């Protein structure tokens, strides 16, 4: 799957962990009592006695010792009574003890999936690197990964002629996954791969589609300057018979139905657990408002993408129905891809986005997005019958702390500070029984403020809003990381969002998909952290220790009884 939109966030500077943030323990699972010296007592519910850790001993803190004028280095622990004193004319600087992490034992089980590499299937629909892939999949299975996610690329399967499908490589892949007793999340990828951060392969739209686009470029999203974006088809042709006699949604339906028939056995035996429906660029339900190939750079606000003849016709029709035909055009004061909100008259505080015309235009623009999802998901349910379906939304969190939320508006989410733009999307998904897959759950607002203070970003606020919009209408919420994640800090943030401690209803993510399987993930240290993360997502992090303690206790009892004590 093409990398989610927010991956461009740190393309110039990928930061690594600073310090692990402390989290509160789940009170229903274990009780820890802390003394003023951070000694701890942990009571396991099924144990007959408490286990005292560090009891009766003086607490020691990590300290740094250095010669005067010497660069600081780490040394063995030094008694905390030394505090900021000297040892043999050397300065001693205390460092705080490592903070306790939240205990996830006994918490709800959240399945873990891992995205497969983008180019695992080549343009001839052949499975590549078979031996290496099998080794990696066995390794994932050994740490109890639940399954994998794979893109079924429209540009590969229906590459040369309408309704001529080649599924050969995917058949071999699915058989390997089934033999390893893993599950499959499959993405119907109706978009182009290549040009986004993280895209290491190039998979265009089907050749016969691009040929149509050469004759009729209005089948692609278009910006105000007339630049065409061949990343996916404009939603303006959803109901236009411009694809050799078929509409866009008919093409999508035929493709999905072919997949359902071809892989019937994998549906029947439950190997395919979910189908994610691609609804736009990067497989996400959004406009391609910030394309890197048009020069966009983070944190630009992006541009509206409604200037193909089909969407403009829809806009003019809506303006006439409103009685203001002169509103049938896009804003002329909304800046360009790399503008800041305050530099434009449309997005600045008190700007035209909140005026009569602005509200009309943004209502129309966002409704086109919702209507597209509505049409395609209705046909997806028809194609896949009782199989769960999902769709992905991107985490557009830059400029979230401004009044207009400009980057969200250009992407199609009508979510200024005085309006909930995600509630209507969630209601549309509920209509079709579709899950919401959301990105950027590993990102921290504080990190964004330190790295890009000018962006006024708030990923944590956005995640909270979107998750609650979905949960409030009782639809499942899954998630994935937006950027490569190998460190405990990122994993801890995912865990916090996956199983919110303070949620009064005990709500949690239905699944998490890790981006992405790679040689870097398989490195010893990184994979060890990943395995630890899986156990915590499964709610098992302390269960192994409990079982070990019980086993040891039983052995001691047998020894005592057998020895006649």
Q: DSSP for 124-165?
A: TS-B--HHHHHHHHHHHHHTT--EEEEEEEHHHHT-SSTT--
- pLDDT for 562 equals 61
Helices (H), 237-334: 248-262, 264-268, 309-322
Residue 457 annotated as lining a ligand binding site: no
Question: Is the Cβ–Cβ distance between 413 and 373 less than 8 Å?
Answer: no
Two structure tokens written together for 275: 């189908």
Beta-carbon-side half-sphere exposure of residue 242 (alpha carbons within 13 Å): 23
Output the pLDDT for position 287. 98
151 has binding-site annotation: yes
The residues, ordered by sequence, that sit 6+ positions from 425 with a Cβ below 8 Å of its Cβ are 285, 369, 370, 373, 393, 413, 436, 469
Which residue, chain included where needed, has tokens 């996830």? 104
The closest alpha carbon to 301, from 315, 287, 290, belongs to: 290
pLDDT digits (tens, 9 = 90+) for 465-478: 999 999 999 999 99
166 is in an annotated binding site: no
Q: So what's the pLDDT on residue 98?
A: 54
**DSSP 8-state symbol, 245:** T
pLDDT at 548: 52
Q: Could you give the C-alpha distances from 268 to 253, 261, 265, 386, in angstroms and in order? A: 20, 11, 5, 10
Establish whether 386 is an annotated binding residue. Answer: no
Contacts (Cβ under 8 Å, ≥6 apart) of 412: 285, 286, 287, 289, 365, 366, 368, 369
- Check whether 481 is labelled as a binding-site residue: yes
Choosing from 284, 408, 442, 496, which is the catalytic residue?
Answer: 284
Q: What is the DSSP letter of 18?
A: -
Find all residues with CB under 8 Å of 515, minimum gap 6, and list them.
3, 4, 115, 480, 481, 482, 483, 484, 485
| Residue 14: count of CB within 10 angstroms of its CB | 11
Can you read off the two tokens belonging to residue 142?
A: 């050994």
Q: Would you call 460 a catalytic residue per the annotation?
A: no
State in Å, rounded, how far the first CA of the chain is from the last one.
64
Compute the distance between CA of residue 344 and CA of residue 145 in angstroms, rounded to an integer: 48
Cα 468 to Cα 404: distance, rounded to the nearest angstrom: 21
Q: What is the pLDDT of residue 464?
A: 96
Per DSSP, helices labelled H in 162-308 are 168-179, 207-215, 248-262, 264-268
Q: Which phi-psi region, left, alpha or beta, contains residue 38 (left: φ > 0; alpha: ψ -120 to 50)? A: left
CA 317 – CA 282 distance, rounded (Å)? 29
* Active-site annotation holder among 231, 274, 480, 496: 480
pTM of the model: 0.80
**pLDDT in tens for each of the 565 residues of the chain?**
444 444 444 443 333 343 333 333 333 333 333 333 333 333 233 332 233 233 333 333 333 344 434 433 343 333 333 334 444 444 444 444 555 789 999 999 999 999 999 999 999 999 999 999 999 999 999 999 999 999 999 999 999 999 999 999 999 999 999 999 999 999 999 999 987 666 679 999 999 999 999 999 999 999 999 999 999 999 999 999 999 999 999 999 999 999 999 999 999 999 999 999 999 999 999 999 999 999 999 999 999 999 999 999 999 999 999 999 999 999 999 999 999 999 999 999 999 999 999 999 999 999 999 999 999 999 999 999 999 999 999 999 999 999 999 999 999 999 999 999 999 999 999 999 999 999 999 999 999 999 999 999 999 999 999 999 999 999 999 999 999 999 999 999 999 999 999 899 999 999 999 999 999 999 999 999 999 999 999 997 544 445 555 566 666 666 665 665 5
Counted residue by residue, the chain has a size of 565
Residue 269, marked binder: no
* Cis amide prior to 532 (ω within 30 degrees): no
Bridge partner residues of 115 (DSSP): 149
Q: Rounded to whole angstroms, how far apart are CA atoms 508 and 499?
A: 5
Rg of the chain over all Cα atoms, to the nearest angstrom = 27
To the question of whether residue 482 is assigned a binding role by annotation, the answer is yes
Q: What are phi and psi of 78, to 5 degrees?
A: -125, 140
What are the φ and ψ backbone dihedral angles of 559, each rounded to 5 degrees?
-65, -45
* Whether 284 is catalytic: yes
Q: How far is CA 477 from CA 12, 295, 436, in A?
A: 30, 33, 5
DSSP helix/strand/coil, 314: helix
Between CA 505 and CA 477 the distance in angstroms is: 14
């Amino acid at each position: 799957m093409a990398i989610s939109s927010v991956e461009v966030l740190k393309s110039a500077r990928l930061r690594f962990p600073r310090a692990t943030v402390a989290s509160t323990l789940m009170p229903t699972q274990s009780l820890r009592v802390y003394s003023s010296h951070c000694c701890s007592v942990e009571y396991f519910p099924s144990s007959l006695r408490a286990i005292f850790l560090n009891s009766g001993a003086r607490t020691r803190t990590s300290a740094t010792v250095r010669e005067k004028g010497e660069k600081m280095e780490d040394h063995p622990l030094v008694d905390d009574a030394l505090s900021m004193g000297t040892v043999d004319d050397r300065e001693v600087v205390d460092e705080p003890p490592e903070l306790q992490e939240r205990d996830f034992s006994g918490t709800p089980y959240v399945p873990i999936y891992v995205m497969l590499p983008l180019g695992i299937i080549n343009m001839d629909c052949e499975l590549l690197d078979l031996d290496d892939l099998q080794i990696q999949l066995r390794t994932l299975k050994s740490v109890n990964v639940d399954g994998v996610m794979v893109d079924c690329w429209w540009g590969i399967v229906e590459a040369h002629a309408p309704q001529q499908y080649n599924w050969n490589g995917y058949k071999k892949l699915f058989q390997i996954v089934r033999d390893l007793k893993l599950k499959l999340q499959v993405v119907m990828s109706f978009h182009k791969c290549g040009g986004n951060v993280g895209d290491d392969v190039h998979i265009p739209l089907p050749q016969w589609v691009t040929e149509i686009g050469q004759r009729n470029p209005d089948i692609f999203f278009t910006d105000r300057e007339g630049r065409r974006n061949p990343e996916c088809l404009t939603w303006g042709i959803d109901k236009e018979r411009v694809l050799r006699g078929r509409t866009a949604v008919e093409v999508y339906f035929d493709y999905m139905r072919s997949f359902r028939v071809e892989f019937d056995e994998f549906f029947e035996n439950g190997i395919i657990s979910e189908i994610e429906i691609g609804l736009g660029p990067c497989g996400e339900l959004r406009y391609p408002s910030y394309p890197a190939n048009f020069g966009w750079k983070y944190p630009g606000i992006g541009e509206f993408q409604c200037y193909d003849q089909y969407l403009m016709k829809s806009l003019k029709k809506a303006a006439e129905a409103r009685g203001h035909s002169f509103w049938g055009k896009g804003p002329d004061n909304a800046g360009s891809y790399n503008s800041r909100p305050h530099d434009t008259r449309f997005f600045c505080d008190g700007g035209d986005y909140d005026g009569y015309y602005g509200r009309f235009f943004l209502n129309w623009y966002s409704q086109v997005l919702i209507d597209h999802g509505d049409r395609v998901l209705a046909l997806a349910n028809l194609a896949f019958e009782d199989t769960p379906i999902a769709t992905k939304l991107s985490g557009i969190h830059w400029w979230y702390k401004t009044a207009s939320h400009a980057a969200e508006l250009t992407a199609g989410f009508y979510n200024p500070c005085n309006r909930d733009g995600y509630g209507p999307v969630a209601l549309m998904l509920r209509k079709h029984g579709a899950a919401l897959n959301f990105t950027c759950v590993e990102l921290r607002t504080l990190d964004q403020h330190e790295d890009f203070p000018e962006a006024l970003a708030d990923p944590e606020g956005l995640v909270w809003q979107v998750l609650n919009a979905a949960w409030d209408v009782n639809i499942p919420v899954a998630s994935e990381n937006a950027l490569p994640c190998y460190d405990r800090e990122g994993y801890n943030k995912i865990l916090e969002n996956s199983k919110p401690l303070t949620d009064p209803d005990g709500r949690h993510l239905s699944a998490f998909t890790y981006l992405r399987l790679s040689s870097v993930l398989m490195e010893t240290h990184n994979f060890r952290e990943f395995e630890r993360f899986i156990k915590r997502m499964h709610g098992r992090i302390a269960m192994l220790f409990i079982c070990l303690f019980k086993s040891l206790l039983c052995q001691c009892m047998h020894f005592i009884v057998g020895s006649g004590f």
